[in-house]
């Protein structure tokens, strides 16, 4: 590794487009009849899986870096796919496609990688079956590969048992096919990108007194979508700048939708210096973040904050190793069913690096500050683990050798380039 690895991070980076919004822009563009244009698209492996699924349904998608043009006959004009739809490593693609395919008039099969094969799909399939969907698969029809035979759907009234934007979105997308008005009640608010973006494609979503309502039968119309930067990607550089002494960085056009900004609250509670400026108006808020190296203290993270920072918990756990006191993360059992069991995989890696970390059934307990040491750590094929260990390498004594860091391309293909920019190692 280069000698200046531990150098302060300085300068400005524009993190890539939001993964959740990029998926939805392609999906809704494919459901609408006509031409949808997307700028700021995330060309990560997950979103490319979404594009390839729609190409198999007869939708034309031209992708040029972060610019995408989707030209579709509309959801009623799709053709039956001749082969299995490959959702790769993407839970969002797999779950939202189930809702989208449930109301077609053809047969389709979804399959993903070894991680997707372990992830629970029953949480989506249960409500979709209540709407009349015909979905079959392993383990009582709840695990991939999953076969969907399109059928006519009816609206439902549904109380969500888990706080999950993927479940909520799959139901809302099926509800567009369905007869009647679907009503959904969330246990805790989860990211609301579907609710924000659907009206731009001609489908109003009503939200009152904690109930989300969508009336089926409307024809979707194309739109132009401008995708802000992904706060879940920014999180890795936020943490790095807080922990590496003398750092000061700026991250431009970061999405700051309040359903996603739990990390900013947690970091501020920990004493982290982070400023938000130039917030733009618009359906999806974006802002420039300035982050400075800070003395950190422990915190407790639980309850309604969890869905607002769920994907950031691996990097927050690393941050906690450098904070004075005992950080407790609770109510985060959802981490067990992400790309890996992130309670297990994060604690395993942190311990190898010399951290004082303990797994609990629904979270972690981390005591700090501890000087981390070099070690070999595994991403277990989980992109957010890979990036967490890359940030650990900036503060550990000795080399951190990451097994399988290629998986970072799932959500942040230019991660190392951007890291080198902030380290002023542009020539490498």
- Residue closer to ligand S3P (CB basis): 92 or 247: 92
Summary count for the chain: helices (H), strands (E): 13, 22
- Residue closer to ligand S3P (CB basis): 121 or 347: 121
18, 45, 46, 311: the active-site residue: 311
Residue from 36, 37, 144, 169 touching ligand S3P (CB under 6 A): that is 169
Binding status of residue 335 toward ligand S3P by CB under 6 A = no
> Is 311 marked active-site?
yes
Closest by CA position to 92, among listed 122, 137, 50, 61? 50
Residue from 310, 315, 355, 366 touching ligand S3P (CB under 6 A): that is 310
Question: Cβ distance 346 to 388 under 8 Å?
Answer: yes
Q: Which helix (H) or strand (E) holds 246?
A: none
Identify residues 177-206 at the interface with ligand S3P (CB under 6 A). 190-191
Q: CA–CA separation, 351 vs 289, rounded Å?
A: 31
Binding status of residue 92 toward ligand S3P by CB under 6 A = yes
The reply, when asked if residue 338 is annotated as ligand binding, is: yes
237-385-370 Cα angle (round to 5) = 70
CB of 411 to ligand S3P, least distance (A): 8
Angle between helices 231-243 and 262-269 (to 10 degrees): 20
3-state SS assignment for residue 83: coil
Residue from 166, 182, 294, 393 touching ligand S3P (CB under 6 A): that is 166
CB of 191 to ligand S3P, least distance (A): 6
Matching residue, tokens 């994907």: 311
Q: What is the dihedral of CA 63, 66, 71, 77, to 10 degrees?
A: 90
- CA 384 remoteness from chain centre: 10
Binding status of residue 165 toward ligand S3P by CB under 6 A = yes
CB of 388 to ligand S3P, least distance (A): 15
Matching residue, tokens 């549904």: 158
- Residue closer to ligand S3P (CB basis): 314 or 369: 314
The reply, when asked if residue 295 is annotated as ligand binding, is: no
Q: b/e for 416-425, b at 16 or more Cβ within 10 A?
A: eebbebbbee
| Segment near ligand S3P (CB under 6 A); pick from 54-62, 161-169, 199-207, 251-259 | 161-169
Sheet architecture: strand order including 134-137: 85-88, 107-112, 143-149, 134-137
Identify residues 4-23 at the interface with ligand S3P (CB under 6 A). 20
Known binding-site residue numbers = 19-20, 24, 91, 119, 164, 166, 311, 338, 342, 384
**Site of interaction with ligand S3P (CB under 6 A):** 20, 92, 164-166, 169, 190-191, 310-311, 334
Residues annotated as part of the active site: 311
Residues marked as binding for 3-phosphoshikimate? 19-20, 24, 164, 166, 311, 338
């Amino acid at each position: 590794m280069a000698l200046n690895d531990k150098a302060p991070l300085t300068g400005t980076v524009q993190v890539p487009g939001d993964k959740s919004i990029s998926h939805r822009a392609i999906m809704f563009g494919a459901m609408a009849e006509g031409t949808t244009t997307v700028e700021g698209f995330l060309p990560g492996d997950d979103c490319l899986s979404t594009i390839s699924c729609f190409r198999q349904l007869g939708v034309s998608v031209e992708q040029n870096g972060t610019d995408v043009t989707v030209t579709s006959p509309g959801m009623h004009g799709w053709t039956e796919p001749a082969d299995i739809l490959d959702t790769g490593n993407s839970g969002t693609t797999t779950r939202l496609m189930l809702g989208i395919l449930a109301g077609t008039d053809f047969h389709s099969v979804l399959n993903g990688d070894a991680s997707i094969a372990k992830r629970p799909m029953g949480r989506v399939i249960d409500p979709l079956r209540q709407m009349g969907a015909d979905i079959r698969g392993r383990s009582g029809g709840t695990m991939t590969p999953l076969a969907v035979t399109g059928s006519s759907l009816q609206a439902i009234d549904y109380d969500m048992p888990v706080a999950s934007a993927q479940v909520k979105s799959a139901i809302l997308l099926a509800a567009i096919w369905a007869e009647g008005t679907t009503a959904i009640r969330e246990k805790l608010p989860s990211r609301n990108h579907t609710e924000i973006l659907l009206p731009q494609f001609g489908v109003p979503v009503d939200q009152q007194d904690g109930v989300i309502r969508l009336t089926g039968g409307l024809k979707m119309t194309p739109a132009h979508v401008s995708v802000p930067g992904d706060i879940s990607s920014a999180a890795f550089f936020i943490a790095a700048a807080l922990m590496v002494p003398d750092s000061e960085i700026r991250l431009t056009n970061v999405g700051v939708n309040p359903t996603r900004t739990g990390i900013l609250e947690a970091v501020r509670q920990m004493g982290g210096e982070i400023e938000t400026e130039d917030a733009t108006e618009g359906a999806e808020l974006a802002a420039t973040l300035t982050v400075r190296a800070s003395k950190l203290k422990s915190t407790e993270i639980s309850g309604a904050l969890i869905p607002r920072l769920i994907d950031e918990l691996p990097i927050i756990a690393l941050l906690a190793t450098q904070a004075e006191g005992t950080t407790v993360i609770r109510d985060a059992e959802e981490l067990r069913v992400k790309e890996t069991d992130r309670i297990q995989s994060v604690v395993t890696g942190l311990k190898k690096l010399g951290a004082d970390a303990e797994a609990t059934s629904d979270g972690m307990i981390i005591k700090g500050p501890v000087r981390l040491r070099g070690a070999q750590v595994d991403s277990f094929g989980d992109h957010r683990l890979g990036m967490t260990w890359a940030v650990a390498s900036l503060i550990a004594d000795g080399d951190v050798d990451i097994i399988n860091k290629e998986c970072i391309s799932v959500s942040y293909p230019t991660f190392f380039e951007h890291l080198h920019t902030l380290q002023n190692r542009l020539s490498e």
